[in-house]
């Protein structure tokens, strides 16, 4: 009986292992076939201000437009530089607002069951069509405190009884969408840059001391956010096997 259980367990582990290896092989071979890519970025249209921890009742997140900061242009420029060594990167045009408007459903199974909404948008909204793949960079979401979600680019305050903590974040996820079938070859959220922060969220973020309320604060905030993106993009693209040596 015990031998039978061990054999069944071993077979199950082997099946899972072979399945994972096959999936990895499929992904690797699909990535190898990619020669031309287009890059789409839609995270930099607005910045949020979120408060968590010991807050008052009126603590809804606030947003402001930052399209003038040109963060998406910066991301496309950086990604082009990073991917240019391996792929032929072609400029693409798309409606940024349409990509930025897509949100995950609050009901988790819906996200698993429904077709990826970015696939359809790449098919219908991006020109030129026919590239081998499209790299789509959009907002990602994380929890802050117990009951608050933060996403995309933002400034967050975590208030405690004895101290307040501020952090900036640039939460994004990257999809590789195949250019003919529009299948999502891989999707990955950018990871935190380190694990030493007092307040952590699930993506690139960093502590800040400044309140960004004086003259010139907007430019400093933009520079700090841009720094997060520039530091994390090589890691994320490296994790996705799009660039080597990270």
Partner 1 sequence: MLPSPSGNWTVMVGIGGEYKPEFAGSNNGRFAPVPIFSVRRAGSVDQFRGPRDSTSIALLDIGHFRAGPAFKYVASRKADKYAELTGLGNVDAAYELGGFVEYYPVDWLRLRSELRQGMGGHTGTVADVSADVIVPLIQRLTISAGPRFTWKSTNATAPYFGVDAVQALASGLPTYNARGGAHSVGFGSQISYRINPQWEVHAYVEYEKLLGDAADSPLVKLRGSSNQTTVGLGASYSFDFRIR
Which residue, 164 or 183, is less far from partner 1 as judged by CB? 164
| Cis-peptide into 128, omega within 30 deg | yes
Inter-CA distances, 100 with 86, 158, 194, 222, Å = 28, 26, 27, 19
Which residue, 124 or 160, is less far from partner 1 as judged by CB? 160
Rounded to a whole number of angstroms, the minimum distance from the CB of residue 192 to partner 1 is 4
Rounded to a whole number of angstroms, the minimum distance from the CB of residue 235 to partner 1 is 9
Q: For residue 40, what are its two tokens?
A: 């789409």
Rounded to a whole number of angstroms, the minimum distance from the CB of residue 143 to partner 1 is 4
Which residue, 36 or 224, is less far from partner 1 as judged by CB? 224
Rounded to a whole number of angstroms, the minimum distance from the CB of residue 215 to partner 1 is 30
Q: Are 137 and 44 in contact (CB under 8 A)?
A: no
Rounded to a whole number of angstroms, the minimum distance from the CB of residue 91 to partner 1 is 29
Which residue, 113 or 215, is less far from partner 1 as judged by CB? 113
Give, to the nearest 10 degrees, the angle between helix 71-83 and helix 217-239.
30
Cα atoms found within 13 Å of the Cα of residue 228, Cβ hemisphere only: 28
Which residue, 38 or 192, is less far from partner 1 as judged by CB? 192
183 vs 120: CA distance, rounded Å: 10
Which residue, 131 or 233, is less far from partner 1 as judged by CB? 233
Rounded to a whole number of angstroms, the minimum distance from the CB of residue 172 to partner 1 is 13
> Regarding beta strands 184-189 and 62-65, do their DSSP bridges make them parallel or antiparallel, or are they unpaired?
unpaired
Three-state secondary structure call for residue 47: strand
**Contact positions toward partner 1, by CB under 8 A?**
51-57, 59, 106-109, 142-149, 158-163, 165, 188-189, 191-203, 205, 238-241
Rounded to a whole number of angstroms, the minimum distance from the CB of residue 136 to partner 1 is 19
Which residue, 55 or 77, is less far from partner 1 as judged by CB? 55
> Regarding beta strands 46-53 and 36-42, do their DSSP bridges make them parallel or antiparallel, or are they unpaired?
unpaired
Query: How many CB atoms lie under 10 A from the CB of residue 217?
Result: 12
Residues whose CB is less than 8 angstroms from the CB of residue 216 and which lie 6 or more positions away in sequence, other chains included? none
């Amino acid at each position: 009986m015990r031998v039978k259980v061990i054999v069944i367990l071993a077979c199950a582990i082997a099946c899972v292992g072979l399945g994972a290896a096959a999936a990895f092989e499929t992904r690797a071979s699909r990535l190898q076939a990619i020669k031309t890519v287009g890059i789409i970025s839609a995270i930099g249209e607005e910045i949020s201000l979120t408060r968590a921890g010991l807050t008052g009742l009126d603590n809804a997140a606030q947003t402001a437009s930052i399209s003038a900061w040109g963060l998406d242009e910066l991301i496309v420029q950086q990604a082009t530089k990073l991917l240019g060594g391996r792929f032929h990167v072609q400029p693409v045009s798309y409606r940024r607002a349409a990509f930025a408007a897509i949100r995950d459903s609050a009901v988790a199974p819906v996200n698993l069951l429904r077709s990826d909404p970015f696939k359809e948008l790449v098919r219908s909204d991006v020109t030129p069509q026919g590239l081998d793949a499209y790299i789509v960079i959009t907002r990602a979401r994380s929890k802050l405190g117990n009951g608050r979600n933060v996403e995309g680019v933002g400034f967050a305050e975590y208030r405690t009884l004895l101290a307040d903590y501020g952090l900036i974040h640039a939460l994004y996820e990257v999809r590789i969408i195949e250019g003919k079938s529009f299948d999502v070859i891989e999707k990955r959220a950018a990871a935190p840059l380190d694990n030493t922060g007092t307040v952590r969220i699930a993506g690139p973020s960093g502590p800040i001391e400044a309140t960004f309320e004086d003259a010139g604060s907007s430019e400093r905030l933009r520079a700090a956010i841009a720094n997060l993106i520039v530091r994390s993009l090589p890691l994320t693209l490296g994790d996705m096997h799009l660039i080597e040596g990270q």
